[in-house]
Amino acid sequence: MGGWAIAVHGGAGVDPILPNERQEEATRLLTRCLDIGISALRSNLSAIDVVELVVRELETDPLFNSGRGSALTEKGTVEMEASIMDGPKRRCGAVSGLTTVKNPISLARLVMDKTPHSYLGFAGAEEFARKQGVELVDNEYFITEDNVGMLKLAKEANSILFDYRIPTLTTCGGGAAMENQLQMNGLPISLYAPETVGCVVVDKQGHCAAATSTGGLMNKMTGRIGDSPLIGSGTYACDLVAVSCTGEGEAIIRSTLAREVAAVMEYKGLNLHEAVDYVIKTRLDEGKAGLIAVSKNGEVACGFNTTGMFRGCATEDGFLEVGVW
Amino acid sequence: MGWAIAVHGGAGDIPLSLPPEKRLPREAGLRRCLDVGIAALKAHNHPLDVVELVVRELENNPHFNAGKGSVLTTSGTVEMEACIMDGKTMKCGAVSGVSTVVNAISLARLVMDKTPHIFLAFDGAEAFAREQGLETVEMSHFITPENIERLKQAQEADRVQLDYTQPIPKEVPKEAAVADGDSQIGTVGCVAVDSEGSLATATSTGGIVNKMVGRIGDTPIIGAGTYANHLCAISATGRGEAIIRGTIARDVAAVMEFKGLSLKEAAAYVIDQVPRGNAGLIAVSSTGEVTMPFNTTGMFRACATEDGYSEIAIWDSPTK
């Protein structure tokens, strides 16, 4: 037991008919990010530094829904959020409503390290970013053609569905969508953008850290905050474990999913795999989500009740796996 | 079994020497809100409606740090946040960065009832309020002279230590003690259970004095300041950052469920884990129990149960 371990994710809930090309792109990116994290761990970087580094990489790459490549609000803009948590002392930082900050996870880190607060949002967060001199870009930088197209289709689909709880099927007007029973957040899976990226790490000292970043839900109301920046929901780390979640934000919040994994370990004495299993099986009800987790003992686990989750994990003893299904 | 209700007006370093002119209006406010809640429960209103009603009253009372009477940001503005949760359905709603909505808790309720989301903030929340036809006013409506004074004193104290580019140790309270010793931190909240065991919680606040613009605290974070499930309903108050890190509200329910502790034991256990001087909470269980532990100097609080028990207190009550 012991040694470092790392896991990364690029979202839970994958279209079963996702073209091979996209799957390959995703696995390449996940592998690259894992490698970055593994090098950093071998160079003795602490868990908190590693998770930030890896999530920055995921934010910068336009493939997943964070930073560049973020899902769009109903207005066609990008509003990003992120959170980071350091297991020892459970220090945390979070941001929401970012529109010009190139790497939201780094701003979340600065909130944790440089302010007496844990969470800054919107104009106040942007102002803080300016004062800290972090890299700022125009909102357009984050918007990809792919997502502009997705937003259009999502709006067409939503004009039929409003309540995401209603499990009815709808066909959309767009060419990309096919008849498909699967839905997440009220959208046919082919339009649903997996919500988040994340990374969890335990370093050689047994310290755990977690980081999560996202553009949020496609076609969300402006000002909507999801689970990713909420400590205990999308992100959590303590002495025992670090967790990052992805999927239907509202379901993750309601079940305080990230905290739940740690709570059953702490209060029920379950080990990491049992805890992840238990939480995914019993805490989500009709909600769809996934998570990655590492324990202070160098174990890594992931669980999801969705069709697929983009993920990768590795441990110091040489285990390495990247997967979609 | 039977109904139970608890309300709070904030936990903090409330000095025992609090002068009557500061103490009496708050005690009266708590008493009135408790009575409003009791009447609503007796009239068989759903706990969700009860907690919203009571918190609206607390928001309208300028003596508490919510709605009118909210503390000010470092820019002298008001940014309110609120959260509501239904224990049975686990539906919830939260808002942050609200500056013109008279009753933030009602906006949170609308987010829960009328959107597919849980949490709306700042401009998006304000726009939604207007769409929904909620009562909005000029921000000046919420600002009281006491809070202008509190901000002034906090900023004077900070001028010596504050530079956001330096790492600020979290253990050191940012807010210096104010000359009149008045509590710098506070929130309002209400938890209720009816005789069928349906639970609900609501929390509302202006945040902390001199907070950075855009700062979001524990109140609207489900599991931190506010939480309810089929076992219990909790509303927490105190230093937001400590409550977030400790996932206080969620932990009370988790400890009951996973360790089999009673409501009182679970609540005391969780408060004990938080560094002294940082937190308090009110909680009710599905079986009609109520508890109000805190590890600060005091917590403005009141509770009542169907069997006739009632209590209004600020510091440790002699019956504890």
How many Å lie between the alpha carbon of A57 and the closest alpha carbon of chain B? 25
Q: Does A250 touch chain B (CB under 8 A)?
A: yes
pLDDT of residue A158: 72
Give the residue among B114, B113, B5, B111 at the shortest CA–CA distance from B54.
B5
H-assigned helices in chain B? 20-42, 47-60, 104-114, 122-131, 145-161, 240-245, 248-259, 263-273
Tell me how far CA of residue B76 lies from CA of A42, B71, B142, B150, B213, in angstroms. Answer: 48, 9, 11, 10, 9
Q: Which sign does the torsion angle of CA A264, A306, A152, A63 carry?
A: positive
Is A127 in Cβ contact with B224 (below 8 Å)? Answer: no
CB pair distance less than 8 Å for A118 and B240: yes
Asked if B122 lies within 8 A of A223 by C-beta distance, the reply is yes
Residue B1 has pLDDT above 80, yes or no: no
To the question of whether residue B38 is assigned a binding role by annotation, the answer is: no
Cα–Cα–Cα angle for A123, A193, A95, nearest 5°?
25
**Residue B209, CB-side half-sphere exposure with 13 Å CA sphere:** 29
Check CB contact under 8 Å for B223 and A232.
yes
Quick check: A63 and A217 in contact, CB under 8 A?
A: no
Smallest Cα–Cα separation from A184: which of A34, A292, A309, A22? Answer: A309
Residue in B116, B121, B258 closest to A97 by CB: B121
Interchain CB distance below 8 Å, B241 and A264: no
Q: How far is CA A126 from CA A64, A67, B51, B81, in A?
A: 23, 15, 34, 19
pLDDT of B156 over the 70 cut: yes
pLDDT confidence band for B135 (50 / 70 / 90): very high
Q: Which two tokens stand for residue B56?
A: 């609206």
Q: Would you say residue B151 has pLDDT above 90?
A: yes
Q: Domain locations in chain A?
A: 5-142+190-323
In chain A, which residues have their Cβ closer than 8 Å to the Cβ of B258?
263-264, 267-268
Nearest chain B residue to A89, by CA = B245
Which residue of the set A73, A99, A170, A196 is catalytic?
Answer: A196
Please list every residue in chain A whose beta carbon sits closer than 8 Å to the beta carbon of residue B221: 119, 230-233
Using DSSP, state whether B293 is helix, strand or coil.
coil
Residue of A nearest to B129 (CA): A223
Helix, coil or strand: residue B213: coil
Residue B141's CB is within 10 A of a number of other CB atoms, namely 13
Enter the DSSP assignment of A218.
Answer: T
Give the helix, strand, coil percentages of chain A, each rounded to 5: 35, 25, 40
Q: How far is the C-alpha of B113 from the C-alpha of B120, rounded, in Å?
A: 13
3-state DSSP assignment of residue B193:
strand
Contact call for A164 and B116, based on CB within 8 A: yes
Q: Are A205 and A72 in contact (CB under 8 A)?
A: no
B56 is in an annotated binding site: no
To the nearest whole Å, the CA of A264 is away from the closest chain B CA by: 7
Question: Which chain B residues contact residue A226 at CB under 8 A?
Answer: 117, 119
Q: Which of B9-13, B99-103, B104-108, B246-250 has the lowest mean pLDDT?
A: B9-13
- Separation of alpha carbons A276 and A290, rounded Å: 10
Q: Quick check: A163 and B116 CB within 8 A?
A: yes
Residues of chain A positioned with their CB less than 8 A from the CB of B124: 221-224
Tokens representing B316 are 């440790």
**B246 secondary structure, DSSP code:** T
Q: Does A314 touch chain B (CB under 8 A)?
A: no
User: Which entry of B89, B115, B136, B187 is annotated as an active-site residue?
Assistant: B187
Domain boundaries, chain B: 4-72+143-165+182-313
Is residue B37 a known part of a binding site?
no
Query: Is B301 a residue whose pLDDT tops 70?
Result: yes
Three-state secondary structure call for residue A107: helix
Note whether B214 contacts A236, CB cutoff 8 Å: no
Tell me how far apart the terminal alpha carbons of chain A are, to the nearest angstrom: 27
C-alpha of A37 from chain center: 16
What pLDDT, on the 0 to 100 scale, is given for residue A175? 33
pLDDT mean values, one per 10 residues, chain A (325 residues): 91 86 93 98 98 97 92 94 97 98 98 96 98 97 92 78 33 37 67 79 98 93 96 98 95 97 97 98 92 98 95 96 94
- How far apart (Å, rounded) are the C-alpha atoms in residues B281 and A126? 33
Separation in Å, CA A277 to CA A211, A270, A290, B223: 21, 10, 11, 21
Q: Does the CB of A223 have a partner CB in chain B at under 8 Å?
A: yes
Contacts of B2 (CB under 8 A, 6+ apart): B195, B288, B305, B306, B307
Phi, psi of A224 (to 5 degrees): -75, 130
**CATH for B4-72+143-165+182-313, options being 1.10.150.300, 3.40.50.1370, 3.60.20.30, 3.40.50.970:** 3.60.20.30
For residues A166-199, b (16+ Cβ closer than 10 Å) or e, as one string? eeeebebebeebeebebbbbbbbbbbbbbbbbbb
Count residue pairs from A and B with Cβ separation < 8 A.
165
* Binding annotation of A for substrate: 224-227, 246-249
Which of A164, A221, A253 shows the shortest C-beta gap to B124?
Answer: A221
- Over the stretch B162-195, which tens digit does the pLDDT of each residue have? 434 344 444 444 333 333 334 555 799 999 999 9
What gap in Å lies between CA A220 and CA A143, rounded to an integer? Answer: 15
**Alpha-carbon distance B175 to nearest alpha carbon in chain A (angstroms):** 10
CA separation (Å) from A4 to A41, A83, B53, B289?
A: 7, 22, 51, 45
Q: How many CB atoms within 10 Å of residue B289?
A: 17
pLDDT band at B98 (very low <50, low <70, confident <90, very high): very high
Which CATH number among 3.40.1080.10, 3.40.50.1700, 3.90.190.20, 3.60.20.30 corresponds to the domain A5-142+190-323? 3.60.20.30
**Apex B59 CA angle, B202 and B63, nearest 5:** 125
Angle at alpha carbon of residue B188, lines to B184 and B192, rounded to 5°:
150
In whole angstroms, give the CA distance from residue B230 to residue B43. Answer: 22
For residue B317, count other CB atoms closer than 10 A to its CB. 11
Q: What is the pLDDT of residue B319?
A: 39
Q: Which of B120, B165, B227 sits opposite A114 (nearest CB)?
A: B165
Among candidates B104, B16, B11, which has minimal Cα distance to B58? B104
- Residue A249, chain B, CB below 8 Å: the answer is yes
Distance CA A142, CA A262 (A): 34
B287 catalytic per annotation: no
> Given a cut of 60, is residue B161 above it in pLDDT?
no
Per the CB < 8 A criterion, the answer to whether B294 and B302 are in contact is no
Asked if A105 contacts A213 with a C-beta cutoff of 8 angstroms, the reply is yes
Give the CA distances from residue A180 to residues A16, A70, A187, A285, A286, in Å, rounded to whole numbers and listed in that order.
Answer: 9, 24, 10, 21, 18
Regarding beta strands A91-98 and A119-121, do their DSSP bridges make them parallel or antiparallel, or are they unpaired? Answer: parallel
Q: What amino acid occupies position A241?
A: V
Give the percent of chain B with pLDDT over 90: 85
Assess A28–B contact: CB distance below 8 Å, yes or no: no
Q: Which of A92, A119, A282 would best serve as a mutation to test chain B binding (most B beta carbons within 10 A)? A: A119
| Distance (Å, whole) CA A170 – CA A190 | 12
* Interface touch B214/A123, C-beta < 8 Å: yes
Shortest alpha-carbon distance between residue A28 and chain B (Å): 33
Task: Please give the radius of gyration of chain A, using alpha carbons only, rounded to the nearest integer.
Answer: 18
Residues 6+ apart with CB under 8 A from B196: none
Question: Per the annotation, where are the binding residues of A?
Answer: 224-227, 246-249
